[in-house]
Amino acid sequence: MVRSHTLRTQKGLVNDPMPPDMIWRIDDFLIDPSRPLYEQFVEQIRAMIAKGKLAPGTRLPSVRETASSLRVNPTTIMKTYQELERLSLLVTYRGQGTFVTNEQSAITRSRRELARSAVARLEELAQSIGLTLAQFIALAKEED
Amino acid sequence: MMVDRTITIQCTGVEMTFKKKQALRNVTFSTNSGSIVGLLGPNGAGKSTLMRILTGILEPTGGLVEVLGRKPDVETLAQLSFLPDRGQLPNWLTADQWLGYASGIYPDWDITLEREWVRKLEVDRSMSIGTMSRGQEARLQLLTCLSRRTKLVILDEPFTGVDLLSRERISSAIAEETAGGDRTFLIATHDIREMESMFDRIILIGDGTIKGVYDTEALRDEGHSVESCYREVFA
């Protein structure tokens, strides 16, 4: 879903925010309780944006709504949104809310970074059995 | 969301002795506003005693306690909400009558908050308190705490005997209320697994002494969960 949103500043609209396009559900995330929670939310939302599961322009629920629906500390959610904003994947318009970016370049960059980190993990695994990445892939494709 | 990090509770070397039994020994910790703090420990660890000291109901036999910037007394009790362990609401009233009564006795009662939480916690106003289940009554008690504009909310075992869906509604309400940034929740609970992603800080208490105070994200950064930390300390 692609939506354009202009910044509306008239009084009334600012205090009367639009409903979000979706609500986070607990099953949207797979959380390991022994790793920093905000890192995991950042990773998983980032992956949703990269995969297009969260379309550009989607209006996200507020920190308050998210903390409530996920039953997570609001500071964690605030840090998550801030980090995703720093990565240019989310944009916040005052009085309007937080949206998935419409900037294709930011999304592409994020997809590339996801691919790079996956390849780096694979490369590490290949090295652990004494192969290069190319040999590793060839080995996986070999027939029995 | 504005985050104001003023200290809401400061305990330094708190001691409590009942006759010959020492219930609390050298208890030191602090909490910041806008945070959810878990007070965790086995039964009989001193959690309820500590909460009663914080509300000003009990006076400690030693040490310093500051709540909302002053020694706890009747004044501070008026500025915080407390959900006591085994607290009972008047069972001859309906929820509606109770809320009417509560709104009259608490000067900081906020009718807008009351309406919002009645809806979100799904409290049936016409129901008589005497016929409520444990979960329904717990939701009404929490609603009574949340409908006041208090900076500190102290909940002693808000989940005991409460069904899953009611527990979820209560946790959601607590998370939502903390998002404003100026409320502090101090919660004694045994439901660690369910609550662990809610806490900013945990205070582990056993045999009347503090076994550890941890910021939860720092714990996780070192590969520990709240639950594993609890097990390490108490097992």
Rounded to whole angstroms, how far apart are CA atoms B100 and B114?
10
Q: What is the pLDDT of residue A12?
A: 37
Which of B180, B217, B226 shows the shortest C-beta gap to A36? B217
- Cα–Cα distances (Å) from A35 to A26, A46, A90, B226, B228, in that order, read 17, 17, 23, 10, 12
Rounded to an integer, the average pLDDT of A97-124 is 93
- Residues in chain A within 8 Å Cβ distance of B225: 33-34
Q: What is the pLDDT of residue A17?
A: 56
Q: Which residue has the tokens 């003023």?
A: B6
CB neighbour list of residue A98: distance below 8 Å, 6 or more residues apart? A59, A60, A62, A81, A85, A90, A91, A92
Which of B119, B169, B178, B199 to mutate to probe the A interface, most A CBs <10 Å? B178
Q: Is A52 on the interface with B (CB under 8 A)?
A: no
User: Given a cut of 60, is residue A7 above it in pLDDT?
Assistant: no
Q: What is the pLDDT of residue B5?
A: 65
Rounded to whole angstroms, how far apart are CA atoms A57 and A3?
5
Q: What is the pLDDT of residue B161?
A: 78
Q: What is the pLDDT of residue B214?
A: 96
Q: Which residue has the tokens 């916690």?
A: B121
Q: Which residue has the tokens 């590339």?
A: A112
User: Given a cut of 60, is residue A16 above it in pLDDT?
Assistant: no
Residue B65 token pair:
């306690």
Q: How many CA atoms lie within 13 A of A41 on its CB side?
A: 24
Which residues of chain B have a pLDDT value below 70?
A: 1-5, 87
Q: Which residue has the tokens 């705490």?
A: B145
Residue A13 binned pLDDT confidence (cut-offs 50, 70, 90)? very low
Q: Which residue has the tokens 């005991």?
A: B160
More confident position, A128 or B77:
A128
The answer to whether the CB atoms of A64 and B179 lie below 8 A apart is yes
Instruction: Write out the E strands in chain B.
Output: 7-18, 21-32, 36-40, 62-67, 80-83, 152-156, 184-188, 201-206, 209-215
